[in-house]
Amino acid sequence: VSAGREYLLDVAHNPAAVQKMVEYSSLTHCKGKTISLFSVMADKDIEAMIAAAGNHFEAWFVAGQPDNPRAASGADIAAALYAAGQAVVSVSKNLRQALRRAQGVMRAGDRLVVFGSFTTVAGVLPLLETGPGGMQESL
């Protein structure tokens, strides 16, 4: 928790894991809105992962991972989201920019769920540093 904002990082990288992540997130109370930072490998079933998330997220912040040739582009992820009927989508060039944009709309009580792959979590985690008060942004 940082400034009353919650962060949930999950390496969910297939539809079954996304479903479990959403179930867990739904069981834990969030006072505000729940948004996502989603970046995934191109060889994963992106459409099924989005379907497993359903309407759990009020907004999607997506990004490619330019240093990872396996990663889907932000534009490809966004296209899958639009095809699934998701309207609130922000496309970023990398994880840092996506995190910055997501944090820019977050208020106290909101939750950001970071998921899609091990490399997504590994890329975002260093951008958040643990301090005495919990998660502290280090952007």
Instruction: Give the integer Cα–Cα distance in Å for 113 and 105.
Output: 14
pLDDT at 132: 40
Return the pLDDT at 29.
82
Cβ partners under 8 Å of residue 126, min gap 6: none
Phi/psi at 34 (nearest 5 deg)?
A: -110, 120
Cα 108 from chain centroid (whole Å): 18
Answer for the pair 110, 33: CB distance below 8 angstroms, yes or no.
yes
Per-residue pLDDT of the chain (139 residues; tens, 9 = 90+): 567 899 999 999 999 999 999 999 999 889 999 999 999 999 999 999 999 999 999 999 999 999 999 999 999 999 999 999 999 999 999 999 999 999 999 999 999 999 999 999 999 999 986 444 445 444 4
The three-class DSSP label of residue 1 is coil
Please indicate, yes or no, whether the overall pTM of this predicted structure exceeds 0.85: yes
pLDDT in tens, 49-64: 999 999 999 999 999 9
Domain boundaries, the chain: 6-132
pLDDT given for residue 4 in this prediction: 87
pLDDT of residue 130: 46
Helix (H), strand (E), coil (C) string for 2-67: ECCEEEEECCCCCHHHHHHHHHHHHHCCCCCCEEEEECCECCCCHHHHHHHHCCCCCCEEEECCCC
pLDDT at 2: 66
pLDDT of residue 1: 57
6-132 to CATH, choices 3.40.50.620, 3.90.190.20, 3.40.50.970, 3.40.50.300: 3.90.190.20
